Amino acid sequence: MTKRTAAATQGDSLFDAVNAEPEPASKPAAKPRPKPLKPADLPLHAPLIHGETTASLLVRTGAANAVAPDLLLKALHAGRLTVPAAGVQPQQHEVRMSAEALERLAKLLDRPAEQLQRALPGLRAEQLLDEPGAVVRLVPWPEELGAGPLRACPLCMEDGAWLTADGHRWRPCPCGRRWMGGDDGGFLLETSLLPDLGRALVRHRAMDHHLGPAGDALVADAHQVALWWWVNKQVAADRWKERADALGCGRHLKRAAPAVVYPEVMTLAEAMGRWEQQRRKTDASAAEWLAEVAEAFEVPGIERGREREPLRYWLQLHPAGAEPAGDTSAERRWSQLPRLHHRPAEHGPWRATSCLRWTFGQPLTSTTAICPYCQGRALSCAWSPAPDCPEKPGSSDG
């Protein structure tokens, strides 16, 4: 073959290649389905943290075993399950599941279901989905204050863990070195620089030990009063500002407020405990008690000035002439509290809620909405409608 003939043949081949009909595109190969998870795929157990959210435990378990949390969710759910592109975010979502899904989780984690239910509030019987089969739901946390989870202390729990709030927007870690908050997407305050806060926690534990849940409820009341004073720059405003500065919260004073008032909260709570004893007598004098509190704080306005305002509401709910009932001292102390106090499910500090219903961060002198039952007449609903309004049909004592 001559050089010319070879070149022509090569040219014809290139022409044919360029103008040839394209071959039909082949379908992309289907992604293989991941194999169902087995307990052997999760050899490392994330330690259980009492009060942790379910989503938090699943994320920590997945991280410990290099397993994506969405695979864990899908292993608990029968059928197709859509997970957000961002994945499971414990600070934004909680995982709810049915009883059968809980059994699947118990088998995967190689833990008894009862053990999981004791540790995780979201897995307790009353929180399980009432649906047949293995069902999992990824549910956003409600937007109202106190609904979102608290960022857990990384010193004595685990970095990245989240705790259920149970209506509390903040509380100190039991170690006393961190305050855990749920506002603003969750935050932590290092409080070890302020020993007074640690001492306040010790006093709180002592009061709870001595008086039981009633003592914790009085601390909740005192905390509400102190936050009222904080908002109005009363009683110990300069001292609270110094503590907030020491915590490095100059730009986030509202985050610091619940922590920096703690020592004064305990002083007031202990005084409230004395009034609870005094008011069992019909002739107990609220005016004399206010004078004692004013002297303890060295603030005359607590007795007859603007600083008295939040205590005036409290005394309306805790009047003289209480008639305690019950077989034990703890039962009698609890029975004489107003019905707006509800016995906490667990014992210990920062479990009870207050009978004073203003919300820190919202107006103290106006109503944000009108209660449809009492029209705002009841103290429970003076600031916003309360689920335990005494005029609500079917309302009963807590």
Distances (CA, A) of 36 to 33, 40, 112, 218: 9, 11, 21, 51
**DSSP SS3 for 61:** helix
Q: What is the mean pLDDT of the chain?
A: 89
Give the pLDDT of residue 250. 75
- pLDDT category, 32, cuts 50, 70, 90? low
Quick one: what percent of the chain has pLDDT higher than 70?
90
Q: Report the distance separating Cα 390 and Cα 323, nearest Å.
A: 19
Contact by Cβ (8 Å): 169, 182 = yes
- pLDDT tens, 257-281? 999 999 999 999 999 999 999 999 9
**Is residue 149 a contact partner of residue 91, using CB atoms and an 8 Å limit?**
yes
Span 335-355, pLDDT tens digits: 999 999 999 988 889 999 999
**Between 1 and 289, residue with greater pLDDT:** 289
Q: Contacts for 163-167 with beta carbons within 8 Å, 24 or more apart?
A: 163/49, 163/51, 163/52, 163/53, 163/56, 164/51, 164/52, 164/53, 164/121, 164/122, 166/51, 166/121, 166/351, 167/353
Least confident range from 20-34, 297-311, 339-353, 383-397: namely 20-34
Average of per-residue pLDDT across 371-382: 89
pLDDT digits (tens, 9 = 90+) for 125-183: 999 999 999 999 999 999 888 889 999 999 989 899 999 998 889 999 999 999 999 99
Domain boundaries, the chain: 45-192, 195-362, 366-398
Specify the range with the lowest mean pLDDT, choosing from 21-30, 322-331, 389-398: 21-30
Range ranked top by mean pLDDT from 214-223, 251-260, 387-396: 214-223
Span 386-393, average pLDDT: 89
Give pLDDT, residue 5.
Answer: 47
Percent of the chain with pLDDT over 90: 71
pLDDT in tens, 195-249: 999 999 999 999 999 999 999 999 999 999 999 999 999 999 999 999 999 999 8
pLDDT band at 23 (very low <50, low <70, confident <90, very high): low
pLDDT score recorded for residue 251? 77
DSSP string computed for 207-228: HHHHHTHHHHHHHHHHHHHHHH
CA–CA separation, 109 and 62 (whole Å): 11
Contact in structure between 275 and 287 (CB atoms under 8 Å): no
Distance CA(80)–CA(39), nearest Å, equals 21
Least confident of 91-100, 130-139, 387-396: 387-396
- What count of other Cβ atoms lies within 10 Å of the Cβ of residue 246? 13
